[in-house]
Amino acid sequence: MSAAIRIVLVSPSHPGNIGAVARAMKTMGLYDLALVTPRRFPHAEATAMAAGADDLLAGAHVCATLDEALAGCRLVIGSSARSRSIRWPQLDTREAARQLIAAREEGPAALLFGPERTGLSNDDLDRCHALVSIPANPDYGSLNLGSAVQVLTYEIRMAVLAQAADGEPDGVAEAQTGRQRLATADEVEGFFSHLERTLHQVDFIDPARPGRVLRRMRRLFARARPEEDEIQILRGILTQVDKAVARGTDATDHEQE
């Protein structure tokens, strides 16, 4: 059982932000929140913004100093709006997430966020092993505290899930999952033969280039990989078109007699 990843907010000013952070954490499966000298906490705005994550607020560790909040942590990464200095290793968001979940094996790991206006102070940075920054728009990098925590805890969750799925193919197994029975090759061929007959009947196929339209339709349907009952619907449509056209043709023939 690995230890927790702790989110540490240093001197947050707005109680609403503390609630938003709790909510963001819980959506990403993190529960360990420490607050260093929050200006106002507990507070109704924090509870309101936490929505269903008020259990995290109730369990939050309110600390008088940063050192207290970091007790037991073997890795401390600070979140910084942008590259602050060359003194600290700069990690991108994914690498930071990987390092945090790897460090859990040894004990708690902490991800630190500074006060809303000023960010982490030099004293805070001195506690950090590395810094991470979200690669925001250089013209407008103003993520609020809750959003910054949402993005970084999302990366942590992605790293946790990737680790859990280790060895399995990545989530991109997409398109085929849960789909109904794909049509067999002969069912698909039956549809194309039927389509060809119907297209002749409605004079759509150019006798000079009989194969062109059908080839395009084959490609289109090959990409879709039709299911069995989709082929049945398509055959049903063609049958109904055949009947409607036949009624017309019969009537015309009849009229001409």
Which residue among 1, 122, 168, 178 contacts a second copy (CB under 8 A)? 178
Check residue 13 for interaction with a second copy (CB under 8 A). no
CA distances from 58 to 21, 22, 27, 36, 73 (A): 13, 10, 17, 15, 22
Q: Are 32 and 20 a contacting pair, CB within 8 Å?
A: no
Closer residue to a second copy in complex, CB, 36/76: 76
Alpha-carbon Rg for the chain in angstroms: 31
- Residue 57 CA to residue 47 CA, distance in Å, equals 7
CB of 142 to a second copy, least distance (A): 6
Which residue among 26, 104, 127, 194 contacts a second copy (CB under 8 A)? 26
CB of 132 to a second copy, least distance (A): 10
Which of the stretches 4-12, 100-108, 110-118, 150-158 binds a second copy when contact is defined by CB under 8 A? Answer: 150-158
Residues shown for the chain: 257
Which of the stretches 35-43, 64-72, 184-192, 246-254 binds a second copy when contact is defined by CB under 8 A? Answer: 246-254
Check residue 168 for interaction with a second copy (CB under 8 A). no
Closer residue to a second copy in complex, CB, 28/125: 28
Which residues have a Cβ under 8 Å from the Cβ of 28 and sit 6 or more positions away?
Answer: 150, 153, 154, 156, 157
- Pattern 87-106, a second copy, x by CB under 8 A: x-xxxxxxx-----------
CB of 152 to a second copy, least distance (A): 10
Of 119-148, binders to a second copy (CB under 8 A) are: 130, 134-137, 139-144, 146-147
Of 27-66, binders to a second copy (CB under 8 A) are: 27-29, 51-53
Q: Are 60 and 35 a contacting pair, CB within 8 Å?
A: yes
CB of 8 to a second copy, least distance (A): 20
Check residue 180 for interaction with a second copy (CB under 8 A). yes
CB of 126 to a second copy, least distance (A): 15
